[in-house]
Amino acid sequence: MGDTDVTTDANAPWLIVGLGNPGPEYAMNRHNVGFMVADLLAGRIGGKFKRAGKAQAQVIEGRIGPPGPGNRRVILAKPMSYMNLSGGPVTALRDFYKVPTANIVAVHDELDIDYGVLRLKLGGGDNGHNGLKSMTKAMDPDYHRVRFGIGRPPGRMQVADFVLKDFASAERKELDYFVDRAADAVEALVIEGLERAQSTYNS
């Protein structure tokens, strides 16, 4: 499916999923940038993550956007399974909150994009990302993605080692700015739609 807006129910909630691995040892890994964006959005919403019933996830329910028709109900989630099992918690939340697949946004690290660069899209493949692979297997690929570039590993470093390492000291100097921009992109996607958000953030 192409990069077009397919949402038909303006009143349907949005499920924003930050992908990562639970536990303090993974907190600053490149693979956990989805969690970082989710944590920042949580601060903006003004809530605290809580366990989501039977779903293996932490969630916050809230609203984003200005008062009026542009305001959107959102469920912000961090799966508490490991990355390669993300599909189970996401589908459980989708079913519980009755979220259309087109209203699901996965925020994740992306190897094939330079560090800090964003790409927003709807549908597509998983590009070897285990979190996306699990989500797509559990439902279908027609959900939105906010792809946060982390670049490729240097030299002969294995991909698995690279994504499970913390951001380098030089990267951390700009990390807060890039995470903040990714959170802005998520909000723009939900409030303004994919095409307008792409025109602003697919730089």
Tokens of 39: 């944590």
| Catalytic residue flag (residue 108) | no
Residue indicated by tokens 């949580």 = 42
Catalytic residue among 31, 108, 129, 144: 31
From the list 94, 103, 91, the residue with the least C-alpha distance to 138 is 91
Strand 144-149 and strand 118-122: pairing? Answer: antiparallel
| Rounded Cα–Cα distance for residues 55 and 33 (Å) | 22
DSSP-assigned letters across all residues of 18-87: E----SGGGTTBGGGHHHHHHHHHHHHHT---EE-TTSSEEEEEEEESSSSTT-EEEEEEEE-S-GGGTH
Q: Which of 171, 200, 172 is nearest to 187 (CA)?
A: 200
Q: Which residues pair with 147 in a beta bridge?
A: 108, 119
Q: Which of 41, 14, 198 is nearest to 101 (CA)?
A: 14
Q: What phi-psi label fits residue 124: left (phi over 0), alpha (psi between -120 and 50 degrees) or beta?
A: left
Which positions are catalytic?
31
